């Protein structure tokens, strides 16, 4: 964990952290000065004559230059005031610097984590839950910044203050300060030792329940239609609430645990104070000396108690939040080492001649058997190729392999005779436009959904209108009051299923790439609309290589060749006429 936290800070932030530490050191010294001045001040008020001639008196004369104890009191009071004003003004500045540092840390961590997730291979997402990932990006990173980095900074400056104040105490009262040091050390050591296990366990509970809550909340709201119709609202709220209950208990226990040491320390301080009074009384120390020491002790306790409390809170929090950090640390560290944060768009890798798959085998992680079981096929540039096969035959998986989203376990994918390497995948993908079986719709306008990921002022409106024409959406858009600026709703809630598919095709065409892949892209359309779209699409696609998966054979009419996939193998290659004949034979 320590190694992976170190990797989170870049050079500039490390420098800033060092500056903040130096700042803390200065503040700790001022703090000590403030506490240390109390003894002469109180003694001066009570019994100025007892100071005269001492070493302290000589130091005071050196600093203030007066020999008269009356004016010395005034100077000392004034100096004390200055020290406290200075200390608090600097503490104010320190707060601003610390908060700035911590929140800048959060911004960078959060954006980096999002980039790290996006840089993960597609397989990673097959085993992940998006609600949990977005919780990690937005919430867990915040916890790390607020409750790990901030406490760590605080821990450092509080330990300095603690040492400085105890150091001053030591000058006046060595025995007492050693006792205080021993007590504080024992209490903090005890907290560190005993809270570790419990805090870590509570932290794990918090992380896992908040993941569950994020997941259930996301599912309850995004699946609202099915949930409403099936009347299962109570079930989902019930799961959410049961997780929230577990989390509540853990949080309450954690917060209580944070407070307990404070109570122990307060008892210890009061106990020491009483013991001290009794000690002075028993040993017959003169009243003025005792009062001054007690005053300093009180000031030191007043300053040390919050400090010790904050140290203890930091220790407990660090342990408590380890689990949240552990949830995303591996992905982030790996991405940091690969430096994936400034990915520029790749230059497309053009298909000059052919795409060949040889003996491609693929099994999903954790899957029982191979979904692709030795696929061999060849697609020449400019060809229109169809894929058919029963549901679950492996068509979409094959497309994912061709797209470079899934890496074959065996066999290879060659482009123009060269096996597709990891480093070429982004270039290869830049040459492909893809309409997935389930089209993703962003909660944005129609135009931004077609030109997805392109800034508004860089949209090619002529191309946009042309592709909307191709997918037969232009007439519909003309009737809309806002035209292409109409909002389509989250996941296309305000448009029909067929319109979602057509937006998907328009998006793929807008990119105008040499290879077009359609996975059941027209399955929700009526035959007539589909036919018109396919005709227009082919007119728009001179020299484009097209791969089409379809259950409805009519969609494959323009294909040069059609492959049949069965149980992860290509079992037949035919023309459209041959396909039709085989269907006729079966039906007759």
Please identify, among the stretches 212-220, 267-275, 277-285, 396-404, the one whose residues bind Mg ion according to the rule CB under 5 A.
Answer: 396-404
CB nearer to ligand ATP: pick between 389 and 411: 389
Q: Whole-number minimum distance, CB 484 to Mg ion, in Å?
A: 30
Rounded-to-integer distance, Cα 574 and Cα 549, Å? 14
Among residues 209, 314, 373, 396, the one that binds Mg ion under rule CB under 5 A: 396
List, in sequence order, the alpha helices (H) in 231-286.
233-283
CB nearer to ligand ATP: pick between 470 and 570: 570
Q: Whole-number minimum distance, CB 219 to ligand ATP, in Å?
A: 18
Q: Whole-number minimum distance, CB 380 to ligand ATP, in Å?
A: 23
The binder of 394, among ligand ATP, Mg ion, none, by C-beta within 5 to 8 A per type, is: ligand ATP
CB nearer to Mg ion: pick between 166 and 521: 521
Residue 410: name the closest of 571, 572, 573, 568 by CA: 568
The binder of 126, among Mg ion, ligand ATP, none, by C-beta within 5 to 8 A per type, is: ligand ATP
Tokens found for residue 146: 């607020």
Whether the CB-CB separation of 378 and 356 falls below 8 Å is answered with yes
User: Any contact of residue 437 with ligand ATP (CB under 6 A)?
Assistant: yes
Looking at residues 544 to 573 of the shown chain, list those that interact with ligand ATP (rule: CB under 6 A). none
Q: What share of the chain is helix, strand, coil (3-state, %, to 5)?
A: 70, 10, 20
User: Any contact of residue 392 with ligand ATP (CB under 6 A)?
Assistant: yes
Q: Whole-number minimum distance, CB 102 to Mg ion, in Å?
A: 46
CB nearer to Mg ion: pick between 196 and 436: 436
Q: Whole-number minimum distance, CB 397 to ligand ATP, in Å?
A: 3
Residue 4: name the closest of 363, 330, 406 by CA: 330
Whether the CB-CB separation of 284 and 240 falls below 8 Å is answered with no
Could you list the beta-strand ranges (E) of 263-390: 354-362, 372-380, 384-388
User: Any contact of residue 43 with Mg ion (CB under 5 A)?
Assistant: no
The binder of 458, among Mg ion, ligand ATP, none, by C-beta within 5 to 8 A per type, is: none
Q: Whole-number minimum distance, CB 391 to Mg ion, in Å?
A: 7
User: Any contact of residue 152 with ligand ATP (CB under 6 A)?
Assistant: no
CB nearer to ligand ATP: pick between 157 and 396: 396
Among residues 216, 292, 323, 393, the one that binds ligand ATP under rule CB under 6 A: 393
CB nearer to ligand ATP: pick between 209 and 400: 400
User: Any contact of residue 394 with ligand ATP (CB under 6 A)?
Assistant: yes
The binder of 367, among ligand ATP, Mg ion, none, by C-beta within 5 to 8 A per type, is: ligand ATP
- Position of minimal CB gap to Mg ion: 396
Alpha carbon dihedral 432, 438, 439, 442, in 10-degree steps, equals -130
Evaluated on CA atoms 582, 559, 531, 400, the torsion sign reads positive
Q: How many helices (H) and strands (E) does the chain have?
A: 21, 10
β-bridge mates for residue 384, sequence order: 546
The binder of 393, among ligand ATP, Mg ion, none, by C-beta within 5 to 8 A per type, is: ligand ATP
Site string for ligand ATP, 7-46 (x = CB under 6 A): ----------------------------------------
User: Any contact of residue 522 with ligand ATP (CB under 6 A)?
Assistant: no
Q: Which position has the token pair 């029909």?
A: 496
Among residues 174, 182, 367, 497, the one that binds ligand ATP under rule CB under 6 A: 367
- DSSP string for 487-544: B--GGGTTS-HHHHHHHHHHHHHHT--SEEEEESTTTTS-HHHHHHHHHHHHHHTTT-
CB nearer to ligand ATP: pick between 104 and 219: 219
Q: Whole-number minimum distance, CB 111 to ligand ATP, in Å?
A: 28
CB nearer to ligand ATP: pick between 126 and 425: 126
Looking at residues 114 to 133 of the shown chain, list those that interact with ligand ATP (rule: CB under 6 A). 126
Alpha carbon dihedral 33, 39, 42, 45, in 10-degree steps, equals -100
Looking at residues 414 to 443 of the shown chain, list those that interact with Mg ion (rule: CB under 5 A). 437
Among residues 397, 472, 541, 555, the one that binds ligand ATP under rule CB under 6 A: 397
Q: Which position has the token pair 């050196």?
A: 62
Strand-by-strand arrangement of the 410-415 sheet: 372-380, 354-362, 410-415, 418-419
C-alpha triplet 229, 233, 239: angle, nearest 5°: 140
Number of residues located near ligand ATP, criterion CB under 6 A: 13
How far is C-alpha 535 from the geometric centre of its chain's CA atoms?
45
β-bridge mates for residue 300, sequence order: none
Q: Whole-number minimum distance, CB 437 to Mg ion, in Å?
A: 5
Looking at residues 325 to 344 of the shown chain, list those that interact with ligand ATP (rule: CB under 6 A). none
CB nearer to ligand ATP: pick between 371 and 488: 371
How far is C-alpha 231 from the geometric centre of its chain's CA atoms?
34
220 CB-contact burial (10 Å; exposed 0-12 / middle 13-18 / buried 19+): middle
Among residues 364, 444, 463, 567, the one that binds ligand ATP under rule CB under 6 A: 364
The three-state DSSP-derived secondary structure of 108-163 is: HHHHHHHHHHHCCCHHHHHCCCHHHHHHHHHHHHHHHHHHHHHHHHHHHHHHHHHH
Residues that bind Mg ion (CB under 5 A): 396, 437
Residues that bind ligand ATP (CB under 6 A): 126, 364, 367, 371, 389, 391-397, 437
């Amino acid at each position: 964990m320590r190694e992976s936290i170190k990797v989170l800070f870049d050079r500039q932030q490390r420098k800033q952290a060092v500056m903040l530490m130096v700042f803390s050191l200065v503040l700790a010294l001022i703090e000590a000065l403030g506490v240390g001045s109390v003894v002469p001040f109180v003694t001066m008020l009570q019994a100025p004559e007892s100071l005269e001639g001492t070493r302290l008196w000589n130091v005071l004369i050196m600093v203030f230059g007066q020999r008269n104890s009356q004016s010395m009191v005034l100077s000392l009071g004034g100096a004390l005031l200055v020290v406290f004003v200075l200390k608090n003004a600097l503490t104010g500045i320190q707060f601003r610097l610390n908060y700035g540092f911590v929140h800048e840390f959060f911004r960078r961590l959060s954006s980096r984590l999002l980039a790290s997730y996006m840089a993960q291979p597609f397989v990673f997402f097959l085993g992940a839950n998006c609600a949990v990932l977005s919780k990690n990006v937005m919430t867990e990173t915040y916890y790390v910044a607020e409750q790990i980095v901030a406490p760590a900074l605080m821990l450092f400056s509080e330990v300095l203050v603690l040492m400085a104040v105890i150091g001053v105490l030591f000058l006046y009262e060595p025995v007492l300060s050693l006792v205080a040091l021993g007590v504080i050390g024992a209490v903090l050591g005890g907290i560190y030792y005993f809270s570790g296990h419990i805090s870590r366990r509570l932290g794990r509970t918090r992380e896992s329940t908040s993941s569950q809550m994020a997941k259930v909340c996301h599912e309850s709201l995004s699946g609202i239609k099915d949930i409403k119709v099936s009347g299962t609202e109570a079930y989902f709220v019930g799961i959410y609430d049961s997780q929230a209950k577990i989390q509540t208990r853990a949080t309450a226990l954690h917060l209580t645990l944070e407070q307990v040491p404070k109570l122990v320390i307060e008892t210890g301080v009061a106990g020491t104070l009483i013991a001290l009074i009794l000690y002075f009384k028993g040993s017959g120390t003169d009243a003025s000396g005792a009062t001054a020491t007690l005053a300093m002790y009180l000031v030191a306790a007043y300053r040390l108690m919050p400090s010790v409390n904050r140290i203890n809170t930091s220790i407990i929090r660090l342990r408590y939040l380890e689990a949240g950090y552990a949830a995303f640390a591996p992905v982030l560290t790996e991405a940091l080492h690969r430096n994936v944060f400034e990915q520029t768009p790749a230059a497309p890798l053009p298909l000059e001649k052919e795409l060949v798959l040889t003996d491609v085998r693929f099994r999903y992680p954790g899957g029982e058997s191979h979904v692709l079981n030795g696929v061999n096929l060849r697609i020449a540039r400019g060809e229109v190729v169809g894929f058919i096969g029963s549901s679950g035959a492996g068509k979409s998986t094959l497309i994912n392999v061709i797209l470079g989203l899934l890496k074959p376990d065996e066999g290879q994918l060659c482009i123009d005779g060269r096996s597709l390497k990891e480093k070429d995948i982004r270039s290869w993908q830049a040459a492909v436009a893809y309409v997935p079986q389930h089209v993703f719709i962003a909660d944005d306008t129609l135009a931004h959904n077609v030109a997805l990921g392109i800034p508004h002022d860089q949209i090619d409106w002529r191309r946009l209108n042309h592709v909307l024409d191709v997918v037969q959406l232009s007439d519909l858009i003309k009737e809309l009051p806002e035209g292409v600026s109409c909002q389509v709703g989250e996941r296309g809630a305000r448009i029909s299923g067929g319109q979602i598919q057509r937006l998907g095709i328009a998006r793929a065409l807008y990119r105008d790439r040499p290879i077009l892949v359609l996975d059941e892209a027209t399955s929700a359309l009526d035959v007539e609309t589909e036919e018109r779209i396919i005709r227009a699409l082919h007119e728009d696609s001179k020299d484009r290589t097209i791969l089409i998966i379809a259950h409805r054979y009519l969609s494959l009419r323009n294909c040069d060749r059609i492959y049949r996939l069965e149980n992860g193998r290509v079992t037949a290659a035919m023309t459209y006429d041959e396909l039709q004949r085989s269907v006729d034979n079966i039906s007759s």
